């Protein structure tokens, strides 16, 4: 008799799925999150799911980015508040008389302080943004287990190379920073910058743009300016030397010039818009074998000295002609 033996069916490896061992998953998550309080907390909330570390990393990255932007906004607000406070300064009317002329000086100084403070505020905001956001990017890369040591090394080498190649540019920027901090000059000032003399039209951290009396525009790098003569800062002075004959009446000439000074001070147009103090007669400034030189001087608003000096010459010449006192030529 022939017996047929049917083999028992074997379990197919493709027909059943192998489920992950829960104990192994819990062990792996515990090892991954052992030094991370955020990951440990999320692992407990998600029942030790295998994707808990991924969620933890994403949450931490989002928190770092949010904190960086919040810190950046706070820094910008603080800088803006400091800039607004620096832009408003005390009045200088206590040094001079109170009036329209000193009001004009205060307005000019306020505008200069405002421009300087806004420029410095802009620089500080950019520096704060670069530092805060750069630190956040490095922290995120470190959180994502991306090695940042090679990146920092490359950036350091690149910075050294740029520093050597752009020494003049760095020098210009540093000189521009100190120029703004010390308020050496501003837009509208007439300055002598060495290479060029003229009115300042624009000031940046790298260059200063001047326009001279002929209308020529000069671009002077801040790093090349070794000394600056500012003719328009705070106040200016107009003066006139009056040469008269050696045998002239010294007392009479001085009294005559004092009357001219009083007339100029009494002129409402000059007093309210150009002169900040009563003109002074200094007496005999020079002696020679042919003439006596008297000097009359007036403190004026910045850049108004030329107009006041012309008015002084006109009134002094008229007064001398009326009194019959001739002026003599000086050598």
Q: What is the pLDDT along the chain (331 residues), one digit of tens a residue?
A: 344 444 544 544 444 444 454 444 445 445 555 555 655 565 555 555 555 556 666 777 788 889 999 999 999 999 888 888 877 755 444 444 444 455 555 666 666 677 777 777 877 888 899 899 988 888 888 777 778 778 778 777 877 777 777 788 888 888 888 888 787 887 778 888 888 898 888 888 889 999 988 889 999 999 888 888 888 777 888 888 899 988 888 888 999 999 999 998 988 888 877 888 889 998 888 887 778 899 999 888 877 888 888 999 999 999 999 988 888 876 5
pLDDT at 307: 87
Long-range CB pairs of 64-71, under 8 A, 24+ apart, other chains included:
64/136, 64/139, 64/140, 64/143, 65/136, 65/140, 67/136, 68/132, 68/133, 68/135, 68/136, 71/132
Alpha-carbon span 106 to 322, nearest angstrom:
39
Overall fold of domain 236-323:
Alpha-Beta Plaits (3.30.70)
pLDDT at 315: 92
- Residue showing tokens 């287990």: 145
- Structure tokens belonging to residue 151: 């990146």
pLDDT at 257: 92
pLDDT at 314: 92
288 alpha carbon, distance to own chain's centre: 51
Give start-end residues of each CATH 1.10.287 domain in the chain: 56-165
Alpha-carbon span 257 to 242, nearest angstrom:
9
For the question of whether the overall pTM of this predicted structure is more than 0.75, the answer is no
Overall fold of domain 56-165:
Helix Hairpins (1.10.287)
The CATH code of the domain at 182-230 is 2.30.30.60
pLDDT at 92: 45
Q: At a CB cut-off of 8 Å and minimum separation 6, what does 189 contact?
A: 199, 200, 230, 231, 232, 233, 302
pLDDT at 95: 45
Contact present, 248 and 256 (Cβ < 8 Å)? no
Give start-end residues of each CATH 3.30.70.100 domain in the chain: 236-323
Burial of 183 (0-12, 13-18, 19+ CB in 10 A): middle
Q: How far apart, in Å, are the Cα atoms of 13 and each of 17, 21, 22, 24? A: 8, 17, 21, 22
Alpha-carbon span 240 to 297, nearest angstrom:
6
């Amino acid at each position: 008799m022939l017996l047929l033996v049917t083999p028992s069916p074997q379990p197919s490896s493709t027909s059943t799925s192998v489920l992950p061992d829960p104990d192994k998953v819990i062990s792996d998550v515990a090892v991954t999150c052992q030094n991370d309080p955020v990951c440990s907390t999320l692992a407990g909330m998600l029942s030790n799911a295998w994707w808990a570390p991924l969620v933890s990393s994403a949450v931490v990255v989002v928190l770092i980015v949010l904190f960086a932007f919040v810190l950046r906004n706070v820094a910008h607000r603080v800088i803006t508040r400091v800039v607004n406070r620096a832009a408003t300064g005390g009045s200088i009317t206590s040094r001079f008389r109170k009036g329209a002329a000193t009001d004009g000086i205060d307005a000019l100084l306020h505008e200069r302080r405002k421009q300087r403070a806004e420029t410095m505020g802009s620089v500080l905001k950019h520096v704060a943004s670069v530092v805060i956001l750069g630190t956040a990017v490095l922290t995120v890369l470190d959180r994502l287990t991306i090695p940042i040591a090679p990146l920092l090394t490359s950036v350091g080498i690149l910075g050294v190379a740029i520093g050597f190649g752009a020494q003049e540019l760095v020098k210009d920027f540093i000189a521009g920073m100190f120029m703004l901090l010390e308020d050496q000059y501003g837009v509208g000032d007439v300055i002598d910058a060495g290479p060029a003399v003229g009115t300042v039209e624009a000031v940046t951290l790298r260059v200063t743009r001047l326009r001279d009396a002929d209308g020529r525009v000069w671009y002077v790098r801040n790093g090349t300016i070794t000394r600056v003569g500012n003719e328009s800062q705070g106040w200016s002075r107009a003066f006139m030397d009056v040469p008269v004959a050696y045998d002239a009446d010294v007392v009479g000439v001085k009294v005559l010039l004092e009357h001219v000074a009083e007339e100029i001070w009494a002129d409402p147009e000059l007093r309210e818009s150009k002169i900040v103090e009563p003109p002074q007669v200094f007496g005999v400034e020079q002696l020679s074998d042919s003439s006596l030189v008297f000097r009359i001087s007036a403190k004026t608003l910045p850049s108004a000295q030329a107009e006041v000096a012309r008015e002084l010459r006109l009134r002094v010449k008229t007064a001398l002609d009326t009194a019959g006192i001739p002026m003599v030529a000086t050598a």
